[in-house]
């Protein structure tokens, strides 16, 4: 059963629950977005730009309150929560600034004479199913380009994020969005399946687990609906012999332990060439040991709790499986014994294929470090995953880094930084990490009707 409720992961205390939508409420939500589309699809581009700018301004104005909400809901540290709101502001601003040019007609050369253009138009209501780990950012990168396209938005947020879900809807209301342009619905999973199948809904975007993505894709496929799926990742962080080790360690800590390791594109598998392995591991262990896990409400806290006790349980089982089969704990390796959802920053070595931690995504503050003998072995190990979201390469030899980047089976490669995100950069992966792209101009191209308008040459 789907339960929308806030339980503070820092304390374990229940805060409040929210009723799931009735059948009538779901029907009203779908109908509202469908009606709004019939007007919004014909709205002036300037009006769409104005809406996105007002939304950005309201996020900026409400930054501290919005940040405090997700700190309470899912444990993100206050400093990182504020940065998330800043990122959201940049996304809405980016599409306000650049959306008009992405929608411009493309003139084609016509062999048979006459003229032709390709015009990009909205499709209709688009259903978004969003996760808890970045409650504002995930919604923004879905909603902003689609509203710019002339689509309308129906949003099912994660059950543990009802307060941020309502805060987002209120921002659109206060920004004077047309009724039905953005609608939040506390739907159950069964109701979500019905929404996907509804003939009025023209597409679905999900960010979540591989399992959830498979279910959504199956339902969408049966109903011939376009999908964008941003799913799991087990991103490789490759340290080559030419790497600046102190810099690589700094980026490794940020890439693995930011947001308590709960990011699809977080660095998860650290693949280190043997010439620098000992140096990297020693410095990495020192840095991770120095992480002070603490109250997420304090501005100076880098790492707080995980999102829920259930998330801690799952991560602990994966680590215990690895330890039981011979993995070495370099740092951490256990829960913090206190109320709430706390786990120690952890480094494991000696992880082998029979261990769950070798092939499964570790969605929490656990780093697995592998030693490899060569760049070729690094590529082989990096690609030996069902996932293909992103990767990071640390090297001062940029030519070697680019050669390796060409061989990695992923959607995104970052050199000399941890994998990250920015409004103008496309985000997405290959293999079991998903389908489609978000952000940048590519985020404008997923849910559009690429319509051809041809005017034939007249002959007498």
Q: pLDDT tens digits, residue range 429-448?
A: 999 999 999 999 999 999 99
86 with 222, same domain: the answer is yes
Q: Is residue 416 part of a domain?
A: yes
CA distances from 366 to 95, 329, 431 (A): 35, 10, 23
Longest dimension (CA), the chain: 87
Q: Is residue 460 part of a domain?
A: no
Instruction: Give the residue from 392, 83, 350 showing the smallest Cα distance to 233.
Output: 392
Give the pair of three-digit tokens for residue 214: 């498979």
- Interacting residues of 38 by C-beta distance below 8 A, sequence separation 6+: none
pLDDT at 253: 98
Ordered DSSP codes for 17-74: EEPPPPHHHHHHHHHHHHHHHHHHTTS-HHHHHHHHHHHHHHHHHTHHHHHHHHHHHH
Number of domains in the chain: 2
Q: Is the dihedral of CA 191, 194, 200, 203 positive or negative?
A: positive
Per cent of the chain over pLDDT 70 is 100
217 with 292, same domain: the answer is no
Average pLDDT over residues 29-39: 98
Instruction: Give the residue from 303, 299, 368 showing the smallest Cα distance to 341.
Output: 303
Torsion of CA 55, 60, 66, 67, to 10 degrees: 140
230 as an active site residue: the answer is yes
Residue 460: pLDDT band (50, 70, 90) is: low
78 with 10, same domain: the answer is yes
170 with 134, same domain: the answer is yes
pLDDT at 112: 85
Q: Is residue 330 part of a domain?
A: yes
3-state secondary structure of 324: helix
295 with 362, same domain: the answer is yes
C-alpha to C-alpha distance for 42 and 122, rounded to whole angstroms: 9
Q: Is residue 428 part of a domain?
A: no
Q: pLDDT tens digits, residue range 172-186?
A: 999 999 999 999 999
Mean residue pLDDT across the chain: 97
Helix, strand, coil percentages (3-state) for the chain, rounded to 5, are 45, 20, 35
H or E segment at 452? strand 448-455
Q: At which residue do the structure tokens 């005017």 appear?
A: 455
195 with 294, same domain: the answer is no
pLDDT above 90 (res 2): no
pLDDT above 90 (res 324): yes
195 with 246, same domain: the answer is no
264 as an active site residue: the answer is yes
Q: Is residue 398 part of a domain?
A: yes
Q: Domain holding 396: CATH number?
A: 3.40.309.10
185 with 285, same domain: the answer is no
pLDDT at 359: 96
Of the candidates 73, 84, 169, 230, the residue annotated as catalytic is: 230
Q: Is residue 256 part of a domain?
A: yes
31 with 157, same domain: the answer is yes
Asked if 411 and 69 touch (Cβ cutoff 8 Å), the reply is no
Q: Pairing between strand 267-273 and 235-239?
A: parallel
Q: pLDDT tens digits, residue range 238-283?
A: 999 999 999 999 999 999 999 999 999 999 999 999 999 999 999 9
27 with 43, same domain: the answer is yes
pLDDT at 1: 62
Of the candidates 73, 84, 163, 264, the residue annotated as catalytic is: 264
Q: Domain holding 51: CATH number?
A: 3.40.605.10
Q: pLDDT tens digits, residue range 379-418?
A: 999 999 999 999 999 999 999 999 999 999 999 999 999 9
Q: Is residue 354 part of a domain?
A: yes
Q: Is residue 411 part of a domain?
A: yes
298 with 213, same domain: the answer is no
- Domain of 9 in residue numbering reads as 4-231+433-455
Q: Which pTM was predicted?
A: 0.97
Residue 458: pLDDT band (50, 70, 90) is: confident
Residue 192 φ then ψ, to 5° = -60, -40
138 with 272, same domain: the answer is no
């Amino acid at each position: 059963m789907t339960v929308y409720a806030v339980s503070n992961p820092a304390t374990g205390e229940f805060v409040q629950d929210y009723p799931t939508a009735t059948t009538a409420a779901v029907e009203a939500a779908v109908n509202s977005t469908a009606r709004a589309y019939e007007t919004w699809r014909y709205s002036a581009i300037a009006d769409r730009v104005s809406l996105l700018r007002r939304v950005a301004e309201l996020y900026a104005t409400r930054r501290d309150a919005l940040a405090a909400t997700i700190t309470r809901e899912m444990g993100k540290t206050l400093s990182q929560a504020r940065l998330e709101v800043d990122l959201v502001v940049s996304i809405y601003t980016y599409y306000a600034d650049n959306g008009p040019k992405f929608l411009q007609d493309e003139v084609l050369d016509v062999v048979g004479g006459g003229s032709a253009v390709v015009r990009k138009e909205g499709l209709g209501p688009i259903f978004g199913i969003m996760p808890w780990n970045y409650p504002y950012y995930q919604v923004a990168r879905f909603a902003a380009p689609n509203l710019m396209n002339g689509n309308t938005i129906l949003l099912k947020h994660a059950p543990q994020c009802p307060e941020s879900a309502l805060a987002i809807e209120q921002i659109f209301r206060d920004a004077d969005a047309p009724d039905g342009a953005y609608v939040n619905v506390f739907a159950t999973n069964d109701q979500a399946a019905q929404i996907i199948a509804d003939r009025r809904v023209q597409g679905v975007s999900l960010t979540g687990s591989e399992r959830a993505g498979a279910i959504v894709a199956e339902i969408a496929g049966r109903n011939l609906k376009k999908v964008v799926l941003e799913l799991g990742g087990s991103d490789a962080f490759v340290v080559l012999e030419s790497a600046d080790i102190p810099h690589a360690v700094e980026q490794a800590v940020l890439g693995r332990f930011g947001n308590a390791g709960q990011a699809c594109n977080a660095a998860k598998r650290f693949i280190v060439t043997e010439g620098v392995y000992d140096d990297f591991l020693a410095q990495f262990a020192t840095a991770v040991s120095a992480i002070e896990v603490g109250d997420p409400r304090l501005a100076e806290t880098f790492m707080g709790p995980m999102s829920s006790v259930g998330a801690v349980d799952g991560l602990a089982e994966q680590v215990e499986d690895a330890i039981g089969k011979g993995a070495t704990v370099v740092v951490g390796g256990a829960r913090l014994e206190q109320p709430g959802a706390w786990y120690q920053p952890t480094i494991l070595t000696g992880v082998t294929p029979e261990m769950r931690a070798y092939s499964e995504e570790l969605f929490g503050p656990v780093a697995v470090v592998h030693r490899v003998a060569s760049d070729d072995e690094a590529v082989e190990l990096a690609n030996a995953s069902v996932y293909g979201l992103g990767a990071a390469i640390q090297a001062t030899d940029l030519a070697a880094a680019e050669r390796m980047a060409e061989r990695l089976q992923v959607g995104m490669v970052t050199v000399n930084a941890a994998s990250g995100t920015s409004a103008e950069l496309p985000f997405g992966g290959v293999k079991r990490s998903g389908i489609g792209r978000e952000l940048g101009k590519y985020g404008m191209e997923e849910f559009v009707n690429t319509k051809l308008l041809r005017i034939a040459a007249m002959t007498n």
